[in-house]
Amino acid sequence: MDTNDSLRVASLWHLMHAISQQLSPTTGCSEIELLEADTFDLHIFQSLTGTKLFVVCEPGTQHMEALLKVIYELYTDYVLNNPFYETKIPIRCELFDINLTQAIQKDRVALLGR
Amino acid sequence: MIGVGKIKQYSNILEKPLSKGKQEVSLSAFAFLFSELVQYNQTRVDNIAELGRRLEDAGYAVGARVLELLCHRDKGNRRETRLLGILSFVHSTVWKVLFGKVADSLEKGTEHEDEYMISEKDLLVNKYISIPKDMGTFNCGAFVAGIVRGVLDGAGFPAVVTAHFVPMEGLQRPRTTILIKFAEEVLQREARLG
Protein backbone atom coordinates (compact mmCIF):
# COMPACT_ATOMS: atom_id res chain seq x y z
CA MET A 1 0.00 0.00 0.00
CA ASP A 2 1.43 3.32 -0.84
CA THR A 3 1.12 6.45 1.29
CA ASN A 4 -2.11 7.74 -0.23
CA ASP A 5 -3.86 4.44 0.26
CA SER A 6 -2.75 4.25 3.89
CA LEU A 7 -4.01 7.77 4.50
CA ARG A 8 -7.35 6.91 2.90
CA VAL A 9 -7.77 3.74 4.95
CA ALA A 10 -6.72 5.50 8.15
CA SER A 11 -9.28 8.26 7.68
CA LEU A 12 -11.94 5.62 6.98
CA TRP A 13 -11.06 4.01 10.26
CA HIS A 14 -11.18 7.30 12.13
CA LEU A 15 -14.76 7.78 10.91
CA MET A 16 -15.77 4.23 11.88
CA HIS A 17 -14.24 4.70 15.28
CA ALA A 18 -16.20 7.86 15.95
CA ILE A 19 -19.46 6.27 14.84
CA SER A 20 -18.86 3.06 16.78
CA GLN A 21 -18.39 5.03 19.97
CA GLN A 22 -21.98 6.20 19.72
CA LEU A 23 -23.42 2.89 18.57
CA SER A 24 -21.86 0.60 21.17
CA PRO A 25 -24.43 -1.99 22.41
CA THR A 26 -22.84 -2.42 25.87
CA THR A 27 -22.73 0.54 28.21
CA GLY A 28 -19.43 1.85 29.50
CA CYS A 29 -17.63 0.80 26.36
CA SER A 30 -15.32 3.45 24.98
CA GLU A 31 -13.71 2.27 21.75
CA ILE A 32 -12.98 -0.61 19.38
CA GLU A 33 -9.89 -2.54 20.43
CA LEU A 34 -9.98 -5.54 18.13
CA LEU A 35 -11.53 -6.27 14.74
CA GLU A 36 -11.60 -9.93 13.80
CA ALA A 37 -12.09 -11.01 10.21
CA ASP A 38 -11.56 -14.25 8.28
CA THR A 39 -8.10 -13.56 6.99
CA PHE A 40 -6.75 -10.98 9.44
CA ASP A 41 -7.01 -9.39 12.87
CA LEU A 42 -6.80 -5.64 13.42
CA HIS A 43 -5.63 -4.48 16.84
CA ILE A 44 -5.93 -0.85 17.87
CA PHE A 45 -4.20 1.03 20.63
CA GLN A 46 -5.31 4.52 21.52
CA SER A 47 -3.03 6.73 23.58
CA LEU A 48 -4.15 9.33 26.10
CA THR A 49 -3.64 11.99 23.46
CA GLY A 50 -5.88 10.32 20.90
CA THR A 51 -3.12 8.95 18.69
CA LYS A 52 -4.16 5.58 17.31
CA LEU A 53 -1.81 2.76 16.44
CA PHE A 54 -2.96 -0.19 14.30
CA VAL A 55 -1.49 -3.63 13.82
CA VAL A 56 -2.80 -5.95 11.12
CA CYS A 57 -1.84 -9.55 11.82
CA GLU A 58 -2.84 -13.14 11.19
CA PRO A 59 -5.94 -14.28 13.00
CA GLY A 60 -5.25 -15.53 16.51
CA THR A 61 -1.89 -13.86 17.11
CA GLN A 62 -1.26 -13.28 20.81
CA HIS A 63 0.34 -10.42 22.74
CA MET A 64 -0.43 -7.73 20.22
CA GLU A 65 -1.31 -5.22 22.95
CA ALA A 66 2.17 -5.48 24.43
CA LEU A 67 3.67 -5.01 20.98
CA LEU A 68 1.50 -1.95 20.41
CA LYS A 69 2.68 -0.45 23.70
CA VAL A 70 6.32 -1.03 22.69
CA ILE A 71 5.67 0.60 19.32
CA TYR A 72 4.05 3.56 21.06
CA GLU A 73 7.19 3.98 23.17
CA LEU A 74 9.34 3.87 20.05
CA TYR A 75 7.08 6.44 18.44
CA THR A 76 7.45 8.89 21.33
CA ASP A 77 11.21 8.35 21.46
CA TYR A 78 12.25 8.45 17.84
CA VAL A 79 9.54 10.39 16.07
CA LEU A 80 8.42 13.03 18.54
CA ASN A 81 11.96 13.83 19.71
CA ASN A 82 13.11 14.26 16.14
CA PRO A 83 13.40 17.97 15.31
CA PHE A 84 12.99 17.26 11.60
CA TYR A 85 9.60 15.59 11.93
CA GLU A 86 6.54 17.72 11.37
CA THR A 87 3.22 16.53 12.72
CA LYS A 88 0.68 15.08 10.33
CA ILE A 89 3.10 14.16 7.56
CA PRO A 90 4.00 10.50 6.92
CA ILE A 91 6.83 9.35 9.19
CA ARG A 92 10.21 9.12 7.48
CA CYS A 93 12.56 8.69 10.44
CA GLU A 94 15.38 6.22 9.87
CA LEU A 95 15.87 5.39 13.56
CA PHE A 96 12.16 4.73 14.03
CA ASP A 97 12.13 2.28 11.09
CA ILE A 98 15.23 0.45 12.29
CA ASN A 99 13.94 0.05 15.84
CA LEU A 100 10.47 -0.88 14.62
CA THR A 101 11.75 -3.77 12.49
CA GLN A 102 13.92 -4.88 15.41
CA ALA A 103 10.95 -4.91 17.77
CA ILE A 104 8.85 -6.90 15.33
CA GLN A 105 11.65 -9.42 14.70
CA LYS A 106 12.09 -9.86 18.44
CA ASP A 107 8.37 -10.39 18.81
CA ARG A 108 8.27 -12.88 15.96
CA VAL A 109 11.18 -14.85 17.41
CA ALA A 110 9.56 -14.92 20.83
CA LEU A 111 6.23 -16.06 19.35
CA LEU A 112 7.68 -18.82 17.23
CA GLY A 113 9.72 -19.99 20.17
CA ARG A 114 12.92 -20.16 18.14
CA MET B 1 20.79 25.52 72.83
CA ILE B 2 19.23 27.67 70.21
CA GLY B 3 20.69 27.34 66.76
CA VAL B 4 22.17 23.87 67.16
CA GLY B 5 21.28 21.67 64.23
CA LYS B 6 20.10 24.66 62.22
CA ILE B 7 21.45 25.00 58.67
CA LYS B 8 23.83 27.93 58.37
CA GLN B 9 22.05 30.76 56.62
CA TYR B 10 24.02 32.66 54.03
CA SER B 11 23.27 36.34 53.74
CA ASN B 12 24.61 36.52 50.22
CA ILE B 13 24.09 34.01 47.43
CA LEU B 14 27.72 34.46 46.42
CA GLU B 15 28.84 33.04 49.75
CA LYS B 16 26.97 29.78 49.32
CA PRO B 17 29.27 26.88 48.43
CA LEU B 18 28.91 25.45 44.93
CA SER B 19 26.89 22.28 45.28
CA LYS B 20 27.49 19.15 43.28
CA GLY B 21 24.01 19.54 41.93
CA LYS B 22 21.74 16.75 40.68
CA GLN B 23 23.87 14.10 39.05
CA GLU B 24 21.12 12.83 36.81
CA VAL B 25 18.78 14.55 34.40
CA SER B 26 15.93 12.93 32.49
CA LEU B 27 17.08 11.91 29.01
CA SER B 28 13.64 12.45 27.53
CA ALA B 29 13.49 15.97 28.92
CA PHE B 30 16.88 16.78 27.43
CA ALA B 31 16.02 15.19 24.07
CA PHE B 32 12.81 17.20 23.91
CA LEU B 33 14.57 20.44 24.83
CA PHE B 34 17.33 19.84 22.30
CA SER B 35 14.81 19.01 19.58
CA GLU B 36 13.05 22.31 20.32
CA LEU B 37 16.39 24.14 20.14
CA VAL B 38 17.03 22.71 16.69
CA GLN B 39 13.52 23.48 15.49
CA TYR B 40 13.68 27.03 16.85
CA ASN B 41 16.88 27.70 14.95
CA GLN B 42 15.61 25.98 11.82
CA THR B 43 12.84 28.53 11.41
CA ARG B 44 15.27 31.41 11.67
CA VAL B 45 17.96 30.44 9.18
CA ASP B 46 18.14 30.33 5.41
CA ASN B 47 20.50 27.43 4.90
CA ILE B 48 21.95 24.41 6.63
CA ALA B 49 25.41 25.85 7.23
CA GLU B 50 23.84 28.68 9.20
CA LEU B 51 21.89 26.17 11.30
CA GLY B 52 25.12 24.35 12.10
CA ARG B 53 26.76 27.59 13.07
CA ARG B 54 23.91 28.54 15.40
CA LEU B 55 24.01 25.18 17.14
CA GLU B 56 27.76 25.56 17.54
CA ASP B 57 27.35 29.00 19.08
CA ALA B 58 24.84 27.60 21.54
CA GLY B 59 27.35 24.90 22.44
CA TYR B 60 30.14 27.45 22.78
CA ALA B 61 28.31 29.16 25.61
CA VAL B 62 27.89 25.82 27.38
CA GLY B 63 31.55 24.94 26.88
CA ALA B 64 32.84 28.15 28.41
CA ARG B 65 30.78 27.60 31.53
CA VAL B 66 31.59 23.91 31.81
CA LEU B 67 35.29 24.71 31.77
CA GLU B 68 34.98 27.18 34.66
CA LEU B 69 32.81 24.84 36.69
CA LEU B 70 35.00 21.78 36.21
CA CYS B 71 38.21 23.66 36.90
CA HIS B 72 36.81 24.74 40.21
CA ARG B 73 35.01 21.55 41.14
CA ASP B 74 37.16 18.71 39.90
CA LYS B 75 40.62 20.03 39.30
CA GLY B 76 41.16 22.29 42.30
CA ASN B 77 41.62 25.46 40.27
CA ARG B 78 44.59 24.17 38.28
CA ARG B 79 44.73 24.82 34.59
CA GLU B 80 46.13 22.83 31.73
CA THR B 81 48.96 24.29 29.72
CA ARG B 82 49.86 21.34 27.50
CA LEU B 83 47.96 20.18 24.42
CA LEU B 84 47.65 16.54 25.43
CA GLY B 85 46.57 17.61 28.89
CA ILE B 86 43.67 19.69 27.70
CA LEU B 87 42.67 17.05 25.14
CA SER B 88 42.50 14.29 27.73
CA PHE B 89 40.62 16.67 30.01
CA VAL B 90 37.98 17.14 27.30
CA HIS B 91 37.97 13.47 26.38
CA SER B 92 37.47 12.17 29.92
CA THR B 93 36.33 14.75 32.46
CA VAL B 94 34.12 16.91 30.28
CA TRP B 95 32.53 13.93 28.55
CA LYS B 96 31.98 12.17 31.88
CA VAL B 97 30.22 15.17 33.39
CA LEU B 98 28.11 15.92 30.32
CA PHE B 99 27.28 12.46 28.99
CA GLY B 100 27.99 10.09 31.89
CA LYS B 101 30.82 8.22 30.17
CA VAL B 102 34.22 8.98 28.65
CA ALA B 103 34.41 9.44 24.91
CA ASP B 104 35.03 6.33 22.84
CA SER B 105 38.39 7.34 21.46
CA LEU B 106 40.88 10.15 21.03
CA GLU B 107 43.10 10.03 17.97
CA LYS B 108 45.74 12.18 16.37
CA GLY B 109 45.16 13.04 12.74
CA THR B 110 47.54 11.37 10.32
CA GLU B 111 47.48 13.95 7.56
CA HIS B 112 48.03 17.15 9.51
CA GLU B 113 49.97 17.88 12.67
CA ASP B 114 47.31 20.13 14.12
CA GLU B 115 44.32 17.77 13.84
CA TYR B 116 42.89 15.59 16.58
CA MET B 117 39.70 13.56 16.61
CA ILE B 118 37.36 12.52 19.38
CA SER B 119 35.03 9.75 18.23
CA GLU B 120 31.79 8.52 19.65
CA LYS B 121 29.73 5.60 18.39
CA ASP B 122 26.44 7.04 19.52
CA LEU B 123 26.45 10.69 20.50
CA LEU B 124 23.90 11.40 23.22
CA VAL B 125 22.43 14.44 21.50
CA ASN B 126 21.90 12.43 18.31
CA LYS B 127 20.32 9.48 20.07
CA TYR B 128 16.76 10.11 18.92
CA ILE B 129 17.43 12.22 15.86
CA SER B 130 17.21 10.91 12.29
CA ILE B 131 18.51 13.35 9.72
CA PRO B 132 16.27 13.42 6.61
CA LYS B 133 18.01 12.60 3.35
CA ASP B 134 17.67 16.07 1.91
CA MET B 135 19.74 17.65 4.67
CA GLY B 136 22.88 16.04 3.38
CA THR B 137 25.79 15.99 5.77
CA PHE B 138 24.31 18.09 8.54
CA ASN B 139 25.02 16.76 12.02
CA CYS B 140 23.32 17.90 15.20
CA GLY B 141 26.59 17.02 16.88
CA ALA B 142 27.57 20.57 15.90
CA PHE B 143 26.24 21.42 19.35
CA VAL B 144 28.86 19.16 20.95
CA ALA B 145 31.51 20.57 18.62
CA GLY B 146 30.57 24.00 19.97
CA ILE B 147 30.96 22.77 23.55
CA VAL B 148 34.45 21.47 22.80
CA ARG B 149 35.36 24.73 21.09
CA GLY B 150 34.11 26.68 24.11
CA VAL B 151 36.23 24.61 26.49
CA LEU B 152 39.36 24.88 24.33
CA ASP B 153 38.95 28.61 23.74
CA GLY B 154 38.44 29.29 27.43
CA ALA B 155 41.54 27.28 28.28
CA GLY B 156 43.68 29.23 25.83
CA PHE B 157 43.83 26.74 22.93
CA PRO B 158 41.97 28.39 20.05
CA ALA B 159 40.75 25.81 17.56
CA VAL B 160 38.24 25.13 14.82
CA VAL B 161 35.98 22.24 15.84
CA THR B 162 33.55 20.43 13.56
CA ALA B 163 31.37 17.34 13.79
CA HIS B 164 31.27 14.69 11.05
CA PHE B 165 29.58 11.40 10.35
CA VAL B 166 32.06 8.65 9.56
CA PRO B 167 30.51 5.45 8.18
CA MET B 168 32.02 2.31 9.68
CA GLU B 169 31.67 -1.24 8.45
CA GLY B 170 29.96 -3.42 10.95
CA LEU B 171 27.95 -0.57 12.44
CA GLN B 172 24.44 0.18 11.30
CA ARG B 173 24.76 3.91 11.93
CA PRO B 174 27.80 6.01 11.11
CA ARG B 175 30.13 6.99 13.92
CA THR B 176 30.30 10.66 14.91
CA THR B 177 33.74 12.27 14.94
CA ILE B 178 34.55 15.65 16.46
CA LEU B 179 37.46 17.05 14.47
CA ILE B 180 39.65 19.57 16.31
CA LYS B 181 42.03 21.71 14.28
CA PHE B 182 44.25 23.83 16.49
CA ALA B 183 45.41 27.31 15.55
CA GLU B 184 49.00 27.93 14.52
CA GLU B 185 49.94 29.72 17.73
CA VAL B 186 48.97 26.70 19.83
CA LEU B 187 51.39 24.46 17.95
CA GLN B 188 54.16 27.02 18.15
CA ARG B 189 53.68 27.37 21.89
CA GLU B 190 53.62 23.62 22.27
CA ALA B 191 56.88 23.33 20.36
CA ARG B 192 58.47 26.02 22.52
CA LEU B 193 57.43 24.28 25.71
CA GLY B 194 59.05 21.13 24.45
Query: Could you tell me if B31 lies within 8 Å of chain A, comparing CB atoms?
Result: yes
Supply the CATH classification number for the domain A33-113: 3.30.450.70
Q: How far apart are the first and last CA of chain A?
A: 30
Going along chain A, which residue ranges are E strands? 34-36, 41-46, 52-57
Query: Could you tell me if A91 lies within 8 Å of chain B, comparing CB atoms?
Result: no
Q: CATH number of the domain that B56 lies in? A: 3.30.1380.20
CB B51 within 8 A of CB B40: no
Question: How far apart (Å, rounded) are the C-alpha atoms in residues B86 and B75?
Answer: 12
pLDDT, mean of residues B21-41: 85
CB pairs under 8 A between A and B: 40
The alpha carbon of residue A16 is apart from the nearest alpha carbon of chain B, in Å, by: 34
pLDDT on residue A114: 43
Convert the pLDDT of each residue in A86-97 to its tens digit: 777 778 888 888
Q: Which of B118, B116, B113, B72 is nearest to B95 (CA)?
A: B118
Beta bridge partners of B27: none
Going along A5-105, which residue ranges are E strands? 34-36, 41-46, 52-57
pLDDT, mean of residues A42-50: 83
pLDDT, mean of residues B81-99: 88
Q: Assess whether pLDDT exceeds 70 at residue A51.
A: yes
ipTM over 0.95: no
Contacts of A92 in chain B (CB under 8 A): 132
Question: How far apart (Å, rounded) are the C-alpha atoms in residues B86 and B184?
Answer: 16
Q: Are B36 and A83 in contact (CB < 8 Å)? A: yes
Residue B4 falls inside a structural domain: no
Contacts of A83 in chain B (CB under 8 A): 34-39, 42, 129, 140
CB B52 within 8 A of CB B136: no
**Which range marks the domain in which residue B165 is found?**
27-193
Residue B168 falls inside a structural domain: yes
In chain B, the number of structural domains is: 1
Convert the pLDDT of each residue in B99-145 to its tens digit: 888 888 888 888 888 899 888 888 888 888 888 777 777 888 899 99
Reduced to 3 states, what is the DSSP secondary structure of residue A45? strand
Q: What is the pTM of this model?
A: 0.80
